[in-house]
Structure 1
Amino acid sequence: MRVIVSLIALVTILSSCVSKKKLAEAENKYRETKAMLDNATMKLNICQDEKKALTQSYEQQLKTLQQTNEALINTQGDLTTLTQKGAENLEMTLESMKEKDLQIKTMRDAINRKDSVTLALVTSLKGAVGNMDDEDIQINVEKGVVFVSISDKLLFGSGQYQLTDRAKEVLGKVAKVIKAKPDFEFMVEGHTDNVPISKQCFEDNWDLSTKRATSVVRVLQNEYNVDPSRMVAAGRGQYVPLESNDDKLGRARNRRTKIIVLPKLDQFYNMIEQGMKKL
């Protein structure tokens, strides 16, 4: 019996380590995604500022050229030479403006493409789950990332990690959308309130949240054939609450499972990388 108990403890520790490692990898990927998007936005703003400066320079040069031409007519100077020089400067300014316009368009196309794909994913998810109470399931976008948050009363019984039949029905609809979007990966996060778990089969709330996330991933893989290489199961325990745990309503909102949908960087940010190389 002591040997069995020791083996169970060892498996639990190893599972926790693997889960934490996958969680860290997923969080690093999310930070890389956000940093790249922020950098692209910053570059876009710089291009727009440079275009504005070039436009002002163009207008000033045009005004100067007109004044020069008037002066040359009045003084009968070397009109041909000076006008040719002004025209060359103007042509160079216009060419520079065209280059900046092309760079700005490239950046906008990349960002618009990402936003369009994200919007299409949200629309598909909302259409798949149908009319459900906002308290049970919420689908939204935060900082360019799609989140599906499902309350624990829909997924699990109190203090349990086995999924209900209703939960499997909802996950089946989500799986249908996810399978049709192979360019996305996603992470399943379990969250709890701060009330200590009293059942002996769980070490703590962190253990409970991890087992719940793993249950969701297993159902998506085993019953709905979602590619396991696209999924990460993670437990966050009570450490990322939505609201205060001081009252019953706040604790209920904090008990949830979140599916975080992430685009694959090498596919969705190729256009942004190419645009940035031209800057």
Structure 2
Amino acid sequence: MKLKLIVPMLFIVAAIGQSCVSTKKYKELQSNYNQLDSANRNMKRKYLTSERNLAVVNNRVQSLEEQIASERASAKSLQDALDKCLNSSNQGNVNISKLVDEINRSNKYIQQLVNAKNKSDSLNMVLTNNLTRSLSQQEMRDVDVKVLKGVVYISLSDNMLYKSGSYEISDRANETLSKIAKIIMDYNNYDVLIEGNTDNVPISQKNIRNNWDLSALRASSVVQALQNNFNVDPKRLTAGGRGEYNPVADNSTDAGRAKNRRTEIIITPKLDQFMDLIGKAPEEKQ
């Protein structure tokens, strides 16, 4: 009789023990998920801030170009007016002198704007040349460097940068990142946005919900490598993920998906470098 009671009790104890182990594992997974979710939200906030800053930089560059065109048109109009005065019968010398002064001020401002734009373009070209010269032929197959609207884009393939199916930096990527980090540190007046991109194939891994998470985690891995391994000032760095929504090729082919799986290091001049020039028109004499 006692034996019959003992056997069910053993089953009950075993069931309770299994339940406790399952609950503990669930709490551990829930904690990991909460940490990842919080980190992802923080990265998205930083990424949105960098996107806004990048848009402002592009607007500033466009504004410089528009002001140059406007000032050139104004100078031409003033020159036409001066020619008309010189060809007319004895217009007052005072008006001619005033026109000459206005033309000179306008030309000086045009040259100031042109010099500022040329300086930014020259710095970007030197930065790009220095980087490409430091990379090997093998590295150049996985790295694409270009300049668009005053901004330097360094695109790195995921095959070179990460371990397979992971957001951890691969060993072979460290040498390439060290060369990029040196360029970043040499040009310390530039900010750096690390932007992760994926193809449109859904991700299926624990604690990674979708391509948004994967792209943000990959960008964060690069930021932390630049900071921890190569001593880049973290105040200059921002990590952001764009998921599958910024493709550069057709996702319907293997080659297109490979191009879309990339991480871009975007190097931009700091905004305050433009603020001293934008809106500073030539001073008029009283």
TM-score band, normalised by shorter chain = 0.7 to 0.9
**1:272 counterpart = 2:277:** yes
Q: How does 1:72-87 map to 2 (within 5 A)?
A: 83=90, 86-87=92-93
- Deviation (angstroms), 1:128: 2.1
- Deviation (angstroms), 1:157: 2.9
Tell me what 1:202 maps to.
208
- Deviation (angstroms), 1:133: 5.7
CA contact (8 A) 1:122 1:139 kept: yes
CA contact (8 A) 2:33 2:207 kept: no
CA distance in 1, matches of 2:254, 2:281: 49
**1:24 counterpart = 2:44:** no
CA contact (8 A) 1:43 1:276 kept: no
CA distance in 1, matches of 2:199, 2:236: 28
How many pairs are equivalent?
260
CA distance in 1, matches of 2:281, 2:141: 42
* Structure 1, unaligned runs of 5 or more: 69-82
Comparing 155-164 with 14-23, which one deviates more in the overlay?
Answer: 155-164
SS in 2 for 1:223: helix
Tell me what 1:185 maps to.
191
CA distance in 2, matches of 1:276, 1:35: 18
TM-score, normalising length: structure 1: 0.88
Tell me what 1:220 maps to.
226
- Deviation (angstroms), 1:256: 0.7
Tell me which amino acid in the other structure corresponds to 1:273: I
Tell me which amino acid in the other structure corresponds to 2:150: G
Q: Deviations over 1:102-125 (max 9, x none)?
A: 111111121111111111211121
CA contact (8 A) 1:185 1:261 kept: yes
- Deviation (angstroms), 1:54: 0.9
CA contact (8 A) 1:188 1:217 kept: yes
- Deviation (angstroms), 1:269: 1.1
CA contact (8 A) 1:111 1:272 kept: no
Q: How does 1:53-202 map to 2 (within 5 A)?
A: 53-64=77-88, 68=89, 83=90, 86-132=92-138, 134-202=140-208
Tell me which amino acid in the other structure corresponds to 1:16: N
* Structure 2, unaligned runs of 5 or more: 1-23
- Deviation (angstroms), 1:186: 0.5
CA distance in 1, matches of 2:44, 2:137: 35
Identity rate of aligned residues, in percent?
32
CA distance in 1, matches of 2:131, 2:283: 36
Tell me what 1:77 maps to.
none
Q: Deviations over 1:10-53 (max 9, x none)?
A: 21221111111100110110111111121221111111001101
SS in 2 for 1:174: helix
CA contact (8 A) 1:128 1:177 kept: no
Please report the RMSD computed on the Cα atoms of aligned residues, expressed in angstroms. Answer: 1.8
CA contact (8 A) 1:190 1:257 kept: yes
SS in 2 for 1:148: strand
Decide whether aligned partners of structure 1 residues 155 and 94 sit closer, same or farther in structure 2, where only a CA change above 3 A counts. same
Q: Deviations over 1:124-180 (max 9, x none)?
A: 211222334654110001121100001111112331112111101100111111111
Tell me what 1:47 maps to.
71
Decide whether aligned partners of structure 1 residues 22 and 277 sit closer, same or farther in structure 2, where only a CA change above 3 A counts. farther
TM-score, normalising length: structure 2: 0.86
